[in-house]
């Protein structure tokens, strides 16, 4: 049986460190994981760390020189059974909902034929805003699935809705999306 391929998108959230555990658990479950990072996510977690854990090249530069002509955002998007974005910032969710394709991650989201599963992580006020909720509902309306967020400790020092879902829940929902 063919190993299932997951493209993991990581965005610029303090929760980006969770991507390391998500990769480890998905690999342990037998999935092949390839990572794409938003440019800003590299401030929170390095490509080298994610490459070491996934054992695959990490993609973050849409204009990286290629040896065989196959646009990166298209080739990334077509070879996967699931596109999991964890953590997903308000910025990323809004760009995808609006069709804005300004980095490798958002271009891959617009190009993929695979199911998309998003694990939001942001401040409670952002998460509950009518704008973000409208974008989430728009994406749900076209079949994008969401896992979390949950109520928990936020980087601003308060407790509230917007904390990324637990790694186990994200992995469980990824497995479910692949059935």
CA-CA distance, 42 to 2, in Å (whole number)? 31
Active-site amino acid positions? 156
Backbone angles phi, psi at 48, to 5 degrees: -60, -40
Task: Please write down the HEC assignment for all residues of 13-60.
Answer: CHHHHHHHHHHHHHHHCCCEEEEEECHHHHHCCCHHHHHHHHCCCEEC
Question: Which residues partner with 90 through β-bridges?
Answer: none
CA-CA distance, 94 to 162, in Å (whole number)? 15
> Within 10 A of 13 (CB to CB), how many other CB atoms are there?
28
Give which of 113, 116, 132 is closest to 124, Cα–Cα.
132
């Amino acid at each position: 049986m063919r190993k299932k391929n997951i493209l993991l998108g990581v965005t610029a959230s303090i929760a980006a460190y969770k991507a390391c555990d998500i990769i480890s658990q998905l690999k342990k479950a037998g999935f092949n994981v390839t990572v794409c990072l938003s440019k800003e996510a590299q401030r929170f977690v390095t490509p080298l760390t994610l490459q070491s854990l996934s054992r695959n090249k990490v993609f973050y530069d849409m204009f990286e020189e290629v040896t065989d002509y196959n646009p990166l955002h298209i080739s990334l998007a077509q070879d996967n059974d699931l596109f999991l974005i964890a953590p997903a910032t308000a910025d990323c969710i809004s760009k995808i909902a609006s069709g804005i394709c300004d980095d490798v991650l958002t271009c891959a989201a617009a190009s993929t034929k695979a199911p998309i599963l998003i694990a939001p992580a942001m401040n409670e006020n952002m998460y509950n805003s009518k704008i973000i909720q409208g974008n989430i509902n728009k994406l749900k309306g076209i079949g994008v699935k969401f896992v979390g967020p949950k109520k928990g400790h936020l980087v601003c020092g308060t407790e509230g809705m917007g904390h990324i879902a637990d790694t186990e829940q994200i992995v469980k929902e990824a497995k479910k999306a692949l059935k």
